[in-house]
Amino acid sequence: MIRVGMLTSGGDCQALNATMRGVAKALYKMYGSDVEIIGFEDGYKGLIYADFRILKPSDFSGILTKGGTMLGTSRQPFKLMRTPDENGLDKVESMKQTYRKLRLECLVVLGGNGSQKTANLLREEGLNIIALPKTIDNDLWGTEMTFGFQSAVNVATNAIDGIHTTASSHGRVFIVEIMGHKVGWPTLHAGIAGGADIILIPEIPYDIKVVVEALKERNRQGKRFSILAVAEGAISKEDAKLTKKELKDKKAKGVVYPSVAYELGAQIQEMTGQEVRVTVPGHMQRGGEPCPYDRVLSTRLGAEAAYLIQQKEYGYMVCVKNNDIDKVPLREVAGKLKVVDPNSSIIREAKMVGICFGDEKLKEKD
């Protein structure tokens, strides 16, 4: 009998169930009744406190199209993993003990950046780990694509699509704030797909004067409305030059805005006189059913994880390379972030069709 543990950690997304299903169905196909899958409740928390349940084949039926995670999830910050809990419990040692008491052959971790760092920590502690790339941000180093990303982009794009008609009717400026504190992948893709006029992402600090000039140019061209796709972590060139402490002090002394989208809205309204409205899809981007692309990707990733378990190839994250499913050592993934390259072809092509990123002044016409 082979026993495999499984947990979902960090923020939820649409294709977690689909990915677990891919792992399980492939394992059942390989081992039949000689495999037992143990699911840990609420991510690493379940592993720390031995909160688990034995899953049956029937648990993986009918979940391909269900969003969220049937195991539940929680955020357990990596930087606190070596810090004892309120009762003095050593969390790392506790996870190792749970793993060994259950006689697990392997632990499958579905998670994003922080989860992968903890997965690598457990690998370093001697546990057999297989990781799967989950995040709507698509910011995991070592893989071209993460499951959950395309589904989230679809939701964000639908939000932008829905704004077009009301924006054109009233002749307003609409700002759609899209998830992404450190990277701009979801905003970039949804912005292009939704026909946004201006896209602001963390990797390309913006100049508010350039943004305003782009809006004024649209007005001169007789266009009644403008739509901005703005990442949560978008930052001005001025603020990007500050240290974290300086930025914190600056915000403490100024007007407190709910988010960067509202700050931008206030600045644009003051500088242009145009009405500005802010829309924040928020956690809707994590919800709903996974799109067909993510269902296919999740099934492929899950099946490959099962294959690695069968081959006893541990210490890897399953990944996408050149549209094929591959693997990358966890030690190479942990702690690294895949950001949007401001000089990449997708940025260049977006600028070629007239999208403003707030970093370059409009070229004067001859």
Active site members: 137
For residues 171 and 274, give the distance between their C-alpha atoms in angstroms, rounded to a whole number: 8
Q: At what angle do helices 149-170 and 185-193 cross, to 10 degrees?
A: 50
Task: Kindly report the number of other CB atoms within 10 A of residue 249's CB atom.
Answer: 12
Residues 6+ apart with CB under 8 A from 139: 112, 113, 146, 182, 183, 185, 337, 338, 339
Task: Kindly report the number of other CB atoms within 10 A of residue 297's CB atom.
Answer: 26
Two structure tokens written together for 203? 């990797």
Residue in 101, 221, 229, 235 with CA at minimum distance from that of residue 163: 229
CB 132 within 8 A of CB 108: yes
Q: Which helix (H) or strand (E) holds 46?
A: helix 44-48
3-state secondary structure of 280: coil
Q: Whose structure tokens read 């260049």?
A: 348
